[in-house]
Amino acid sequence: MCSGNDGPCLCDTWVFCGNKEACGSKFGECWLKKQNDVLVPDRQEGGQKVMWTSGLIFGQGQGIVGFETEHGVLHVKLHPECAPHSVYYILSLLTLRHCSGCQFHRAENRGSYWDSEGNHVTNAPYGPPYAMIQGILQPEGNIFTPIPTEHCPTISRGSVAWVGSGPEFFISLANHHEWKQSYTVFGSVLPEDMDVAERIAGLPTVADVWNSVNVSVLEKPVSLTVRRMKSAYLVLSHKIVTVRLKA
């Protein structure tokens, strides 16, 4: 289905009938299919009444999207293996004509508490600043359905995660293992693009307090758009993963 370094998979969708009562004679059967566009998957139905479970397989170079800003593009490798609901939402943003309202509005650098690789300095506080840039991924006029908590790794440098159930999200500039698994990580910024995140974290801010937490808010929010990847970046991803699209 996916062979070595040949690039995209010959088949990129799996369909499984796992409900013994509803599937009847088809119980346990599995099919492989091909999407016209793996980043815009064809979704027929969803919900508890659907007896089929389907998902995507990201072959080489697939599953990377761009968060485009005036300061550069953050190329994000999506993690459907642990955050399928989140990934499906991000893919849905690719189908929109715009992402007006999507932006970064909070920016806090690493200060002297974390080194350039994101490692915490011994005996240093854990913030503030908290070494992160925060924003929102909800286009104006679109109704957002809260995303369920998904079990993912702890926050590390480059992690892209939801605040709660979204649509607020953040990109971490440091390894925040002290946060354990408090956040759903749905992607990671490619290492070569972290300078863009650092650049945004260094923009002018004003101090504010959110729920008794001291934060730094950007004087001028940074707009972002979720874009498809250009082919030049597709060779950067080699891991084959799956994403569940239906309950």
Q: What class has domain 64-228?
A: mainly beta
Residue 241 pLDDT > 50? no
Three-class SS of 167-194: CEEEEECCCEHHHCCCCCEEEEECHHHH
Residue 9: CB atoms within 10 A of its CB come to 21
Q: Give the per-residue pLDDT at 65.
A: 93
Sketch the domain layout of the chain as residue ranges: 1-60+238-247, 64-228
- Band (pLDDT 50/70/90 cuts) for residue 213 is very high
| Each residue's pLDDT tens digit, 166-205 | 999 999 999 999 998 889 999 999 999 999 999 999 999 9
pTM given for the model: 0.80
Q: Please tell me the chain's helix, strand, coil percentages from 3-state DSSP, rounded to the nearest 5.
A: 15, 35, 50
Which residues have C-beta within 8 Å of that of residue 39, sequence separation ≥ 6? 62, 65, 91, 94, 228
